[in-house]
Amino acid sequence: MVNKELALFVRSLMPEGKGRGDPDRPVSMWNELDRLRGYPEKTTVVIFRTRGCSWYKFSSCSMCGYFNDTQDVTEENLYHQIDHVASTMNSDVLKVFTSGSFLDPMEIPDGVRSYFYERIGQKISKLLVESRTEYIRPERLEELRKIGIPVRIAIGLESANDYIIENSINKGSSFKKYMDAASAARKYGMEVRTYLLFKPPFISEKAAIADVLDSIRKVRDVTTDVSINPTNIQKNTLVEYLWKNGLYRPPRLYSLAKVLIEGMKIGPEVISYPTGGNKDRGVHNDTFDDRLLDLIVKSSLNQDVAELEQYMESLDLSEFWSMIEEEDRSMVQVDFERMIKQALSAVPEI
Ligand code: SF4
């Protein structure tokens, strides 16, 4: 399930050096709103500083630049990071990110995970952890079950289409692996959050819309919710390489709104809290639209698209959808807007 040529090219873009942050502190920690208990509420997010995703040894997903935050840390460093979170977090709900997989024992050793459960498990009422499929194993599900609080495991499926997983996203995984892992998690009483990537490279925006909706249909019976992540341009990634060469454009907000509205009608809860929205490197229309971005987040938090639908209906988007159709028919997905900007900046002033 790996396109070797693609995997090697992605590898060649990744820097050799490691990050140099404080090894005793997480990369980052903040509060945001999410609805892990079925309603919007304050949720703490922490990104632990770790050696990073096991996939980085070979390659990386085409949009993922979290390797930029990784560095060699000892078990001792990880204990200190956990202590820091335990003493500073101020909400009942915690989402744990690691630039990889919380359940990967090479990244978070078993003893460190046990310490985390002991130190933090009692302080919270709901936990979300992220993991690649290969680490969602019975023994780790059993330890999660023992904490005694509801846990949601977030899995990056990205697309239910194996061709896209292999030749566009370079995930080093498959739909079957996702289904097996998600089913195992459900068997142990866990909830599942499924990440879908909206508009991976090499496919048109129209195809990307169809792919996300099709993926939601395929996972609706096994997932608790679906989180749609519109591709954003992260440093040293394949997506950035293509974008810098005018060969990739992040998705438009109009398309994300459409996916959210139609996706919610399919079944599971569907959310999208876009990173870098209304910025050149994130999801944006040609003209930035703050109201639309706010409505996308609000609809996600409330699971109610009425206002978003009303807003979309108030716009005349016929030209936009024709452009999306035309783009789909062209072989190369060129970012004309950026190419023109680059060309203009190269013209000397008179
Ligand atoms: S599996 Fe996750 S952390 Fe690993 S490379 Fe892919 S997106 Fe990044």
- Average pLDDT, whole number, for the chain? 94
CA 86 to chain centre: 25
How many whole angstroms from 321 Cα to the centroid of ligand 1? Answer: 32
For residue 219, give the 3-state DSSP assignment: helix
CA 30 to chain centre: 17
- What six digits make up the tokens of 318? 């016929």
Q: What is the pLDDT of residue 17?
A: 74
In terms of DSSP bridges, do strands 41-47 and 28-34 run parallel, antiparallel, or are they unpaired? Answer: antiparallel
For residue 94, give the 3-state DSSP assignment: strand
- What six digits make up the tokens of 10? 């992605």
Cβ neighbourhood burial of 93 (10 Å; 0-12, 13-18, 19+): buried
- Choosing from 61, 193, 238 the residue with most ligand 1 atoms within 8 A of its CB, the one to mutate for a pocket test is 61
Q: Cα-flanking dihedrals φ and ψ of residue 190, to 5°?
A: -85, 155
How many whole angstroms from 21 Cα to the centroid of ligand 1? Answer: 20
How many whole angstroms from 114 Cα to the centroid of ligand 1? Answer: 23
Listed in sequence order, the residues at least 6 apart from 235 whose beta carbon sits closer than 8 Å to its beta carbon are: 65, 68
Q: Cα-flanking dihedrals φ and ψ of residue 151, to 5°?
A: -125, 135
How many whole angstroms from 314 Cα to the centroid of ligand 1? Answer: 38
- What six digits make up the tokens of 8? 């090697």
**Which numbered atom of ligand 1 lies nearest the CA of 158?**
7
Q: What is the pLDDT of residue 267?
A: 87
How many whole angstroms from 40 Cα to the centroid of ligand 1? Answer: 27
Q: What is the pLDDT of residue 35?
A: 98
Residue 350 has pLDDT above 50, yes or no: no
User: Per-residue confidence at 349, pLDDT binned at 50, 70, 90?
Assistant: very low
d(CA 87, CA 345) in angstroms, rounded, equals 49
Q: What's the structural domain count of the chain? A: 1
How many whole angstroms from 103 Cα to the centroid of ligand 1? Answer: 13
**Which numbered atom of ligand 1 lies nearest the CA of 132?**
1
What is the residue type of 144? L
What is the pTM for the complete model shown? 0.94
Domain containing 304 equals 4-346
For range 216-237, the mean pLDDT: 98
Q: What is the residue-wise DSSP string for 19-87?
A: --S-TTS-SEEEEEEE-TTSS-EEEEEEE---S--GGGGT---TT--GGGG-----HHHHHHHHHHHHH
- Choosing from 66, 67, 194 the residue with most ligand 1 atoms within 8 A of its CB, the one to mutate for a pocket test is 66
Q: What is the pLDDT of residue 20?
A: 83
How many whole angstroms from 139 Cα to the centroid of ligand 1? Answer: 22
d(CA 273, CA 213) in angstroms, rounded, equals 17
Q: Where does ligand 1 bind, in terms of residues with CB under 6 Å?
A: 53, 55, 60-61, 64, 66, 99-100, 132, 156
Give, using CA atoms, the residue closest to atom 6 of ligand 1: 61
In terms of DSSP bridges, do strands 93-97 and 151-158 run parallel, antiparallel, or are they unpaired? Answer: unpaired
- What six digits make up the tokens of 28? 């980052």
- What six digits make up the tokens of 180? 């097996």
Residue 336 has pLDDT above 60, yes or no: no
Residue 208 has pLDDT above 60, yes or no: yes
For range 45-73, the mean pLDDT: 95
Residue 184 has pLDDT above 80, yes or no: yes
d(CA 253, CA 216) in angstroms, rounded, equals 19
Residue 200 has pLDDT above 60, yes or no: yes
Q: What is the pLDDT of residue 1?
A: 77
Q: What is the pLDDT of residue 335?
A: 64
For range 193-208, the mean pLDDT: 97
Chain segment 130-183, per-residue pLDDT in tens = 999 999 999 999 999 999 999 999 999 999 999 999 999 999 999 999 999 999
How many whole angstroms from 302 Cα to the centroid of ligand 1? Answer: 28
For range 286-297, the mean pLDDT: 96
Q: Which of 325, 92, 63, 73 is nearest to 199 (CA)?
A: 63
CA 47 to chain centre: 13
Q: What is the pLDDT of residue 339?
A: 60
**Which numbered atom of ligand 1 lies nearest the CA of 52?**
3
How many whole angstroms from 109 Cα to the centroid of ligand 1? Answer: 18
For range 57-75, the mean pLDDT: 94
For range 27-41, the mean pLDDT: 97
How many whole angstroms from 346 Cα to the centroid of ligand 1? Answer: 36
User: Per-residue confidence at 186, pLDDT binned at 50, 70, 90?
Assistant: very high
d(CA 312, CA 322) in angstroms, rounded, equals 16
d(CA 350, CA 337) in angstroms, rounded, equals 23
Residue 54 has pLDDT above 50, yes or no: yes
For range 234-246, the mean pLDDT: 96
Q: Which of 146, 140, 150 is nearest to 93 (CA)?
A: 150
Give, using CA atoms, the residue closest to atom 3 of ligand 1: 100
User: Per-residue confidence at 344, pLDDT binned at 50, 70, 90?
Assistant: low
- Choosing from 6, 14, 55 the residue with most ligand 1 atoms within 8 A of its CB, the one to mutate for a pocket test is 55
CATH number, residue 194? 3.20.20.70
Q: What is the pLDDT of residue 6?
A: 94
Q: Which of 109, 102, 180 is nearest to 144 (CA)?
A: 102
Give, using CA atoms, the residue closest to atom 2 of ligand 1: 100
**Which numbered atom of ligand 1 lies nearest the CA of 173?**
1
